[in-house]
Structure 1
C-alpha cells in the first residue's frame, strides 16, 4: 500500500488524463503517483504532474480522498507553464514496458462518463463540478 497524490487539471471543456494500456486493457487515470518520503500529498501531486505531463502546476483544494490500497488525494490545480505531453518521468523512459504504455491527453469533460476512468467516483465529481461551473450565469455588459 502506498499513498498517492494526483492532479485534476481542467482547461476550457477538457481535463488532462493519462491513457494507460496494460495487459490488454485500455483505461484512463488522473496524473499522479506515490508520495515520497518527506513529501506532502500536494508536493507529490505537483511533482507527478511535471514528470507525467510536463506541466508546472499550482495545487489548489483537495476535491476527493479515496481509500484503496493506501490513501489517494486528488487536487484541483491550475497550469502555470508547460506543454501537455512533454513529461519525462520514468514511465516514459522504461525500456521493457512492464508497466504498459502512458499517453497524456486532453479529454472532453462530457466524455468522461463514456470512458473507463479510474477512479470512477473522481471522474463523476469532476463532471459535476464542470456542470455547476458551466451553468453559472455570466455578467453581460450593458
Structure 2
C-alpha cells in the first residue's frame, strides 16, 4: 500500500490528465505519484507534477481524497512555470510501464472517458462544467 499525491490542474475549461496505455488498456489518471517517506502529500504532488508534466505548480487548495491501495490526496493547483508535456520522470524512460501522455481534456468529456479515480472526475465535472 502506497499513498499518492495528485494535482488537479484546470485551465480554459480543461483538466490536465495523463493518458495511460498499458497492456492494451487505455485510461486516464491525474498527474501524481507515490509519496516518499520524507515528503508531505503536497510536496509529492509538486514533485510529481514536475516529473510527469515538466511544470512547476503551486497548491491552491485541498481537493479531496480517494482510497485505492492507499490514500490518494488531490490538490487543486496552478502552473507557475515550465512547459506542459516536457516531463522526464522514470515513467517516460522505463517502457515496461506502458505509455504516458500528458494531455488537456475538456471537462465536458470527463464522463465519457475512463478516468481513474472516477469520483474525482465526477467532482470536477460537477464543480467546473
What is the TM-score with the length of structure 2 in the denominator?
0.97
Match of residue 103 from structure 2: 105
1:20 is displaced (CA, Å) by: 0.1
2:38 aligns to what SS in structure 1? Answer: coil
2:108 aligns to what SS in structure 1? Answer: helix
- CA distance in 1 between partners of 2:125 and 2:39 (Å): 29
Structure 1 unaligned spans of 5+: 132-142
Deviates more, 1:116-125 or 1:57-66: 57-66
Structure 2 unaligned spans of 5+: none
RMSD of aligned residue pairs (Cα, Å): 0.7
Structure 1 residue ranges (4+ consecutive) displaced by more than 4 angstroms after TM superposition: none
**Structure showing the higher strand proportion among its residues:** 2
The 5 Å alignment of 1:78-117 reads 78-94=78-94, 97-117=95-115
Match of residue 5 from structure 2: 5
- CA distance in 2 between partners of 1:61 and 1:128 (Å): 17
Larger Rg, first or second structure (1 or 2): 1
Number of equivalenced pairs: 129
